[in-house]
């Protein structure tokens, strides 16, 4: 009964994968990352993986599943909970010609230490102890960032090109679900502001596999920002993507869907939001499904949207973005990070500098709320961009709805 009713209400999402031609099979983002690591470690003995629980536990998110058994503890290294320590060790190894892949359990909290057990022991003076440990955590955070920014990112320039630092820092970034303010920070704009780093943010299995291979092969330090909620997502991939030689060029965006009325830029999980909208007429079954492209919903109102998957945050593919805006004459940027000094702000600046005369409407920026991430589920949803926000912004850019200023 459910299948019949369900089938009558929802159209097959065939067009949702229009950007993935000649699909051979479907794999999860987790599998894409795992196979990319496996193939690069097999191809180059200088590549090794290091981080918390990457070996015996096979990764906190099972990205490194099977790698310890295949390559041994010398190339898959479990570390203590000391990100400042193994980040520095990785940078030093890269100085000497090795190619470390450093896994952070999360970019949000991975460079801090846990004080839960200490507070349990010293419960009667927990307030003072917690304040001291927060200060220590901040110190360790700055120590780990010191290795990434002051050592990895700047050494090539400071050595006049004599020192290369081929290292990858990878792990989940941004908000997950119900993990609070300290586990929900998006670091894309942080690292993208630093010369010497390359910053990548995959969305699909194709992105994850191709970009990770490119990152490992690159002679410069790469910050590889994954998303926890995408690990289990399945995407169709072609035979070309599954080939061991496959690689996605760093600094090149992908047009996921072509359009003529408005350009929508996004990266990581937000690409899915830009491409898909929720079906609300099955709410009685308790489901919330994403099966139809947002661009198709907009098309029903006469709006043809072009969706750009940035893939690379630094270097940013300004040419593709500006070429699209010059065609559509409108722009909506989408990101889950904070609005001030964000990736969307940089895209807006680029378009104003290079394509201002082509704009027929003000640029619309969709970003996370300018507050620490709430823990409550209802507030959390309000703090991150939703599909309906993107649809409303696209309609405002095309003058199909009342502007926010006029409605205020």
The model's pLDDT over 49-62, given as tens digits with 9 standing for 90+, comes to 999 999 999 999 99
* pLDDT top residue among 371 and 15: 371
Residues with a catalytic annotation lie at 83, 183
Q: Which of 87, 79, 80 is nearest to 151 (CA)?
A: 87
What's the pLDDT tens digit per position in 330-356? 999 999 999 999 999 999 999 999 999
Give the C-alpha separation, 230 to 29, whole Å. Answer: 7
Q: In Å, how far from its chain's centre is CA 93? A: 26
Strands 23-28 and 47-51: unpaired
Per-residue model confidence (pLDDT) at position 300: 77
Element (H, E) at 293: strand 290-293
pLDDT at 151 over 50: yes
Whether 246 has a pLDDT exceeding 90, the answer reads yes
Answer yes or no: are the C-beta atoms of 250 and 200 closer than 8 Å.
yes
Whether residue 314 is predicted with pLDDT greater than 60 in this model: the reply is yes
In angstroms, the CA 305 to CA 328 distance is 8
Instruction: Please state, in angstroms and rounded to a whole number, the distance separating the CA atoms of residues 385 and 218.
Output: 33
Radius of gyration of the chain measured on its C-alpha atoms: 22
**Lowest mean pLDDT across 36-45, 87-96, 124-133, 226-235:** 124-133
Residue 133 has pLDDT above 90, yes or no: no
Q: What is the pLDDT, as a whole number, of residue 13?
A: 32
**Rounded mean pLDDT of the chain?**
83
For the chain, what percent of residues have pLDDT higher than 90? 66
User: Does residue 31 carry a pLDDT above 50?
Assistant: yes
Cα–Cα distance, 390 to 307 (Å, whole number)? 11
């Amino acid at each position: 009964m459910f299948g019949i009713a369900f089938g009558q209400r929802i159209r097959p999402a065939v067009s949702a994968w229009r950007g993935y031609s000649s699909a051979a099979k479907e794999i999860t983002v987790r599998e894409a990352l795992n196979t990319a690591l496996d193939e690069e470690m097999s191809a180059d003995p200088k590549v090794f993986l290091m981080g918390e629980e990457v070996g015996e536990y096979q990764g906190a998110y099972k990205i490194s599943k099977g790698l310890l058994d295949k390559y041994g503890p010398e190339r898959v290294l479990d570390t203590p909970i000391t990100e400042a320590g193994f980040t520095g060790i990785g940078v030093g190894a890269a100085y000497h010609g090795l190619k470390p892949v450093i896994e952070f359990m999360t970019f949000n909290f991975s460079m801090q230490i846990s004080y839960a057990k200490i507070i349990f022991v010293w419960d009667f003076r927990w307030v003072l102890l917690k304040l001291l440990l927060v200060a220590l955590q901040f110190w360790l955070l700055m120590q780990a960032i010191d290795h990434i920014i002051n050592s990895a990112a700047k050494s090539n320039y400071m050595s006049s090109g004599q020192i290369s630092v081929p290292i990858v820092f990878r792990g989940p970034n941004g908000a997950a679900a119900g993990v609070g303010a300290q586990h929900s920070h998006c670091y894309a704009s942080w690292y993208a502001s630093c010369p010497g780093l390359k910053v990548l943010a995959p969305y699909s299995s194709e992105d994850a596999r191709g970009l990770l291979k490119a990152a490992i092969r690159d002679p410069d330090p790469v910050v590889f920002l994954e998303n926890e909620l995408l690990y289990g997502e399945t995407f169709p991939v072609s035979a070309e993507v599954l080939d061991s030689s496959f690689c996605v060029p760093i600094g090149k965006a992908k047009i996921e869907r072509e359009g003529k009325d408005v350009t929508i830029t996004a990266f990581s999980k937000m690409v899915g939001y830009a491409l898909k909208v929720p079906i609300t007429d099955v709410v009685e079954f308790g489901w919330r499904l994403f099966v139809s492209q947002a661009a198709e919903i907009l098309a029903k109102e006469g709006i043809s949207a072009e969706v750009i998957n940035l893939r690379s945050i630094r270097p940013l593919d300004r040419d593709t973005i500006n070429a699209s805006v010059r065609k559509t004459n409108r722009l909506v940027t989408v990101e889950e990070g904070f609005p001030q000094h964000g990736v969307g702000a940089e895209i807006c600046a680029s378009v104003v500098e290079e394509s201002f005369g082509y704009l027929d409407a003000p640029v619309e920026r969709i970003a996370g709320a300018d507050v620490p991430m709430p823990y409550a589920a209802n507030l959390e949803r309000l703090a991150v961009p939703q599909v309906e926000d993107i649809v409303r912004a696209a309609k405002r850019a095309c003058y199909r709805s009342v502007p926010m200023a006029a409605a205020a």
